[in-house]
Structure 1
């Protein structure tokens, strides 16, 4: 490429890539995005965390004549990016609320004179009329909206200030615009393009898969179990981030880690801008090993050696979870991500959903209070708590969301008050009565419904027993995603294919269902749960824990029915029953498990079912003849996944269930033993001459190519 659109190109991209970034080639997906931008097209780029998203606009900024404005949601994120660019000799700066008016004017003046190539701007700056007018005098080559999911009300981190950007683009002459985000469903992508009014945009989506991440969901019943897991993970992986849902939990976890002697920092929204910046810099500069933080931490942070990410509670959406998990392993090396799942933690997310989705009545109450309290200039200066108290709204968080709804509908505007942390509110249509504000009630209800669906999908992932990354890829619209081979499901020694059980398995299933029935109650023909899954499993395996004895569960006729199967097997069986529709978890204050009508029919032997059955393991050698002495190499999750894919492909071609070819246990033996010939393969337990003749050869060939 020698010339950009209208002769805007002043430097070749590969030349700039080498000169400023020291790279001789692009990462996957980057080159095509850069070419599209340099051709003059608007566009939307969805690229996973760690995929080199920032370079997609930073490099074109160096190649185009004029200034690139980058809209970024966090001050700490801006500073991190600007410092990194300046260290590379790239003239960049930022404009946000930390600067005085004189300093803002000075930087805008330098923008006009062409001293900067990139200027990071906080979205709230576009509220100021003076700022927008000043930008009109700047030659803007590119308008980049980073973390673009923030402008979609269907996204997981909606920010009302982002809604102004479409109009701001028109005001400054509609420069070329590029929107970038790490996670976005099809609905969010459509919303981004609509709000920004992108002109004939290209739409680029890089693969979401992060093969270096090992994802795990660990069910826990008590907070002490969470701390035990955290201690184990820190001991093994050393450096990482622990995400908590609330400020209170951040401080609690941080205090525990301090007591353990762990070098750590705490980060949350209750800290001042200066405190957050200082704390974040401590972590980035590797002066601390672990960060305990709410979800704002890490957005765009590029510390490459984050080896683990732990979620102390369940996040509110798949988008939030995967973006946060993706902050591990940005150097491409192996990293571990664990979600400590307790269904009761969803209550916190339910509270957040209520706060983010004010009812029509709440919005009206807030608007009426603003009208009642406004001065002669139709302005009011009150904190969210003061507005909540005056409007008689219990959840102060919902007040902020209600104000956002009123801003979006053009009824009010919010502005910064110099020298104060309290923001002002101005009525734009003071003559409009509360009864005539004309809000779209259906849209409010639809957004709340979608937010609840997002939380439901997150819970579904936690219960699912298919490959974690495969599940997430399909959620984001990637069809035929392959198994990762390294998540907790892929690495589990339990689990097989969907099939009818044998006689022994059906008997075990009926015992488990009977246990659920005994710990439920049936009222007017409908089953209602009384206990959670953990307590039912304890009863079935004959636990003598205090909770079991205190509730007299040891006196039930089903007590200890699955004692011989063990807790791990029974938990896996419950997952299979849940996915098979035989039991369900009632949503509410506590996750109570009970029977479905289908589960009742199976329990009484009135119908059959297909499940993903746990495998029953005996203590046996993986080889049929212990005198052979074939050495175990060790379990390799990636090889296991490849063998499983081969097995599934053969089964599909022959029209038989996969377990007919080889069971998961045989695949595990093949993974551990890696036989290098048909003769060696025949020594693997479970492979007879008939199986070997029909199926073994391609597996031996795959193992040989894998080892070489």
Structure 2
């Protein structure tokens, strides 16, 4: 049977979506495979079809219990033997599934990653004919990913223990760094790698600056009125409850989903939303919902998520039916404190990890077992500790073989067994540098998310370039594209050199962290002054006039350099870094352009001077301006013409046709003094001429 015949037989489809057929062929060709495909791209079919065409059973590893149930029910409805094993089932139900698995009566079995904690479960799999292991949400295996799950770390070792069957890993969003981590941690053997286009043509992205919660809720009401079915993502349980209270008061049906609910309560809420019983879901983005509902017309982020990956994956749950959908983030910089709290919780310092280990040592019994809940460990520590940090520290100790965690019979609490006795933090064998790098990368992910929020370039193009999508192009429908004027184009050599000079100026005024990572030190005004060779006190005192880029764009003028920086920011090559005051920062994309590794694409700035260079003066208007100048000379005793305005100035005024003194002052020869004393009657002549021209037109 060919893949195409299998597609028609089992799923009733006549043809694959691109690149499903290549992925299926890779798996059927017995090659490990890594697939990066956007939400709604059809990932599940890529492992379900091979599962039905291969001889044994396929294990599908997924962290989302509710989604498992949906997929198992859908497969059973097609007459396909599928089942699941997870913590929502009794031991008898799990045992019955394992018995069917051993008898070869199942084609697909969905398994939660925590099942691999139990050696008995891994042993039970050894007698089965496992043809394929499909790892869904594979980014969870990478500690550099946005949704790292410690239970995923066992998978590479578990696959080895069951004979290392064919493996295929799937995720919707992953940077090149995360892709490499997935392949390494799963021990993929020379995998075929498929990176499907990240672009979602039917989604329109927008970021709205909102500083008050009441304004946020008012905007949510507008989104509901305009779009109907949607998800509202919040960073905190408290925010979920606040939004829910408002919706209840407005009599708007909805469900909520957060970590304070029981697993059964969360599953029930998700089922109601997925089945279309209610139009709205309010959920914490820390507990991804794994939503599979096609008609979601909007996704709103009530608060900023922790990374671009998290934002795009969550926003991507809109418009899975291919119809237009809207994604909006309600951005308030003050919300960053919540994400800072999460970063602290996910990245405990070495001193805290050792303190927790010491607590475990003091409370261990003769078998080196400790029966303390997370809160009890936290309360035993000196000072205040973040409960998240305690959990993260236990995970780090477990991954380094210092402890192991086990389920306590008859209790929801998990016990801890000490495997390694040490006397100092240095003896724990932890990778202190790796822990530091992990924290820095988490902080950088949040910083990039904030850059995205402030960026003036196309929203979708910015995201695609973040994921290094070579086909990134402007979407034409996000909030930035809708308000963009001018044509974006690849610049020529001379223009590129000018751009590189400007970017180099920003780099010289920054601190370099890595090859393409820069820390801003100065604001936009100071950058312009340095590039144009200013000798202002703010330039001379810090010694910025000693930089090689001081005055490098002096001939271009302040107006042009200012507009060039605007366009570089619009195109994502520069960004505003938030500190005590806004600083101008070189982005990774800008750094690559500066080093000649990428060609700049932007709207080339037009200044009044450049307009005048390419625009012929209006002859009739020029004659009127000369006539006015002559009248002014006679009234002043016939001084030389240039003492009022020389011919070159009058020609430029006739070409530019300024409406205000500010517009006229870009003409060399029209300074502040003449703008006040001489210019006004000339502006009156220009205004009258422009009005006549419009009337005739």
Match of 2:477 among 486, 490, 511: 486
Distance change (3 Å), C-alpha of 1:266 and 1:330: same
Give, in whole Å, the separation in 1 of the partners of 2:286 and 2:386. Answer: 21
The 5-angstrom pairing of residues 46-65 of structure 1 reads 46-65=36-55
The 5-angstrom pairing of residues 230-379 of structure 1 reads 230-295=220-285, 299-379=289-369
CA contact 1:583–1:594 (8 Å) conserved in 2: no
Give, in whole Å, the separation in 1 of the partners of 2:17 and 2:320. Answer: 13
Which residue number corresponds to residue 581 of structure 2? 593
Gapped regions of structure 2 (runs ≥ 5): 499-523, 530-537, 543-562, 587-601, 609-689
Which residue number corresponds to residue 677 of structure 2? none
CA contact 1:496–1:613 (8 Å) conserved in 2: no
Give, in whole Å, the separation in 2 of the partners of 1:368 and 1:326. Answer: 44
CA contact 2:457–2:569 (8 Å) conserved in 1: no
Q: Aligned Cα RMSD in Å?
A: 3.1
Deviates more, 1:378-387 or 1:211-220: 378-387
Give, in whole Å, the separation in 1 of the partners of 2:95 and 2:583. Answer: 67
Match of 1:180 among 170, 190, 201: 170
Following superposition, the deviation at residue 480 of structure 1 comes to 4.6
Describe the superposition over 1:147-196 as per-residue Cα deviations: whole angstroms up to 9, x where unpaired.
Answer: 00001000001111111111101110111011111000111111111111
1:452 aligns with 2:440: no
CA contact 1:12–1:63 (8 Å) conserved in 2: no
Give, in whole Å, the separation in 2 of the partners of 1:57 and 1:92. Answer: 13
Match of 2:466 among 472, 475, 498: 475
Larger radius of gyration: 2
CA contact 2:203–2:324 (8 Å) conserved in 1: yes
Which residue number corresponds to residue 44 of structure 1? 34
Describe the superposition over 1:374-400 as per-residue Cα deviations: whole angstroms up to 9, x where unpaired.
Answer: 112211122212111112351110111
Describe the superposition over 1:470-490 as per-residue Cα deviations: whole angstroms up to 9, x where unpaired.
Answer: 111111011251111111111
Give, in whole Å, the separation in 1 of the partners of 2:285 and 2:575. Answer: 33
- 3-state SS of the aligned residue for 1:232? helix
- 3-state SS of the aligned residue for 2:581? strand
Distance change (3 Å), C-alpha of 1:443 and 1:496: same
Following superposition, the deviation at residue 79 of structure 1 comes to 1.4
Give, in whole Å, the separation in 2 of the partners of 1:315 and 1:168. Answer: 32
- 3-state SS of the aligned residue for 1:44? strand
Distance change (3 Å), C-alpha of 1:253 and 1:597: closer
- 3-state SS of the aligned residue for 2:380? helix
Which residue number corresponds to residue 9 of structure 2? 19
Match of 1:68 among 58, 68, 79: 58
- 3-state SS of the aligned residue for 1:593? coil
- 3-state SS of the aligned residue for 1:54? helix
Aligned length: 533
Give, in whole Å, the separation in 1 of the partners of 2:352 and 2:42. Answer: 42
Following superposition, the deviation at residue 299 of structure 1 comes to 4.3
Give, in whole Å, the separation in 2 of the partners of 1:595 and 1:451. Answer: 21
Give, in whole Å, the separation in 2 of the partners of 1:596 and 1:292. Answer: 36
Which residue number corresponds to residue 131 of structure 1? 121
Which residue number corresponds to residue 415 of structure 1? 406
Give, in whole Å, the separation in 2 of the partners of 1:581 and 1:163. Answer: 36
Following superposition, the deviation at residue 300 of structure 1 comes to 3.4
| Large movers: runs of 4+ above 3 Å | 296-300, 430-435, 493-500, 572-587, 594-598, 610-616
Which residue number corresponds to residue 606 of structure 1? none
Distance change (3 Å), C-alpha of 1:111 and 1:584: closer
1:142 aligns with 2:125: no
Describe the superposition over 1:677-705 as per-residue Cα deviations: whole angstroms up to 9, x where unpaired.
Answer: xxxxxxxx9xx9xxxxxxxxxxxxxxxxx
Instruction: Give the TM-score normalised by structure 2.
Output: 0.72
Describe the superposition over 1:641-686 as per-residue Cα deviations: whole angstroms up to 9, x where unpaired.
Answer: xxxxxxxxxxxxxxxxxxxxxxxxxxxxxxxxxxxxxxxxxxxx9x
Describe the superposition over 1:423-452 as per-residue Cα deviations: whole angstroms up to 9, x where unpaired.
Answer: 111112236654411211100000001111
Give, in whole Å, the separation in 1 of the partners of 2:118 and 2:18. Answer: 39
Following superposition, the deviation at residue 103 of structure 1 comes to 2.3
Distance change (3 Å), C-alpha of 1:347 and 1:612: farther
CA contact 1:495–1:614 (8 Å) conserved in 2: no
- 3-state SS of the aligned residue for 1:62? helix
CA contact 2:235–2:286 (8 Å) conserved in 1: no
Deviates more, 1:49-58 or 1:415-424: 415-424
Give, in whole Å, the separation in 2 of the partners of 1:197 and 1:163. Answer: 11
Following superposition, the deviation at residue 127 of structure 1 comes to 1.0
Which residue number corresponds to residue 646 of structure 2? none
Give, in whole Å, the separation in 2 of the partners of 1:218 and 1:363. Answer: 40
Distance change (3 Å), C-alpha of 1:582 and 1:216: closer
Describe the superposition over 1:589-628 as per-residue Cα deviations: whole angstroms up to 9, x where unpaired.
Answer: xxx4357799xxxxxxxxxxx9987999xxxxxxxxxxxx
Match of 1:30 among 20, 26, 30: 20
Following superposition, the deviation at residue 573 of structure 1 comes to 12
Which residue number corresponds to residue 603 of structure 1? none
Give, in whole Å, the separation in 2 of the partners of 1:251 and 1:574. Answer: 43
Describe the superposition over 1:235-254 as per-residue Cα deviations: whole angstroms up to 9, x where unpaired.
Answer: 01000000000111111111
Give, in whole Å, the separation in 2 of the partners of 1:142 and 1:581. Answer: 44
Which residue number corresponds to residue 95 of structure 1? 85
Describe the superposition over 1:202-260 as per-residue Cα deviations: whole angstroms up to 9, x where unpaired.
Answer: 11110000000001011111112211211111001000000000111111111111111
Match of 1:81 among 59, 71, 81: 71
Match of 1:155 among 145, 150, 153: 145
CA contact 2:455–2:575 (8 Å) conserved in 1: no
Following superposition, the deviation at residue 102 of structure 1 comes to 2.6
